[in-house]
Structure formats: C-alpha cells, structure tokens
Amino acid sequence: MSPTTTFALDLDAPRREVTHPHGIAVKLHGNQLIFPAELPADALEPILSDELDLVGLFGDVLQSSDGDSVGTNEVLVALFKRPSLPRKFLAAVKETYAVLMDAEYDEEGKLLDGQFKDFLESKPSVPDYVRLTMGLTRLYGVELGKLFSSADSSESDSPTSKPTSPTTTTDSTHEVPGFVPDNPDSSASDD
C-alpha cells in the first residue's frame, strides 16, 4: 500500500480510548470498577446465546401482538412458555459483566480475586444492574433494542418512506440516574 492511501474507514484511528484512556471508571458501593473503553464483542455473547433465546422471545411477543403495541399479556404469555428464562437471563447478565471485568477462574472454576469478585461481593441490587447497564449502554453507544429487533421490523418496502427527521434526538433524552456524561462541563452554566 502506498503511503498516500486514504482510508474510507480507519478502524485503527483513536476511539473511545481518547476520552477514557484508562477505561471507564464506575463507583458502586464504595468500590471503583474499571470497564473497557470499548465494548468487547464477546461481552454480548451470553445475552445473544441460543440457549437464552431472547431473539425468539421478542419474536414470539411481537408475533402475538399482531402488529399492535405489545402489552403485558403478550410478554407474560411468552415468559410462561420459558419458565427458566429469568434465571438464565440473570446468569447471562452476570457472565457479561464477568467478561467486561476480566474475571479469572482457577482450574476448578472458582472465581479468583479481582474486581468482578469485589463486584459480586458488594451484592449489587437489581436497580444497580439496571443503572449500570443503562449507563454503560449509553457510553458504549449500543442500542439493545436494535440488537434484538428483526431485520425487517423497522424496514419499509414503500418507495416513498422517508425518515421523520434527519437528526437524532439523543441529546434530548433523559439522563440515566447516576450517569455522568463524557464531558460534565458541557452542561454547566456560566453563572
């Protein structure tokens, strides 16, 4: 390749490591946790596993709603068809955090000392998991709903279909409780 090659896409260019060079620091129950600056692809494997089958669950829920808005009844019916799902989902969430926190195990499968062990020993609550997941999801720029939607669920075959707005509304969405934006000074007033 010549030294004057211009890349249309340069995946070696500085990424989130520029704003979080030492990882994403999170404080939880007095502990400091460090998450990778970029979301590792293998961190999603537990959530997207065939055994958990969240895609199948969402497909069943959407199919049972016949195009109408999804209600509690559809979700409950789909969940009752999968009684082990809540337990499997919790295990997948923990496994995802084990990947994110670089958990290490000995030969017998016992968790070794490290930040993941500290995290589990702090006994995170369900709201802790929700706030942590929402905050990290926002920082990583991952929209979980898009991961689980079917490829054709938001597509239109109509040639006249146009986006409703050329811009996104990300800046107008509500903040996640406990979430600290990348640049806290950007929202400070000059009073």
How many C-beta neighbours within 10 Å does residue 160 have?
Answer: 5
Of residues 33, 14, 23, the one with CA closest to residue 178: 33
Tell me, yes or no, if the pTM score tops 0.75.
no
* One-letter-per-residue 3-state SS of 60-78: HHHHHCCCCCCCHHHHHHH
Residues 33, 26 contacting (CB under 8 angstroms): yes
Residues 15, 38 contacting (CB under 8 angstroms): yes
The per-residue pLDDT for 158 is 42
The per-residue pLDDT for 102 is 94
pLDDT, tens digit only, all 191 positions of the chain: 556 777 776 666 655 556 677 889 999 998 899 999 888 999 999 999 999 988 888 888 777 766 666 677 777 877 888 889 889 999 999 999 999 999 999 999 999 999 999 999 999 999 999 999 999 988 888 765 555 554 444 444 444 444 444 444 444 444 444 555 444 444 444 44
Residues 65, 74 contacting (CB under 8 angstroms): yes
Residues 101, 114 contacting (CB under 8 angstroms): yes
* CA–CA gap between residue 154 and residue 103 (Å, rounded): 37
Structure tokens at 12: 């070696």
* CA–CA gap between residue 107 and residue 86 (Å, rounded): 29
Distance from the first to the final alpha carbon of the chain: 54
The per-residue pLDDT for 129 is 93
Sign of the torsion angle spanned by Cα atoms 99, 17, 126, 84: negative
Structure tokens at 127: 């709201």
* CA–CA gap between residue 101 and residue 118 (Å, rounded): 10
- Domain residue ranges of the chain, discontinuous segments joined by +: 18-147
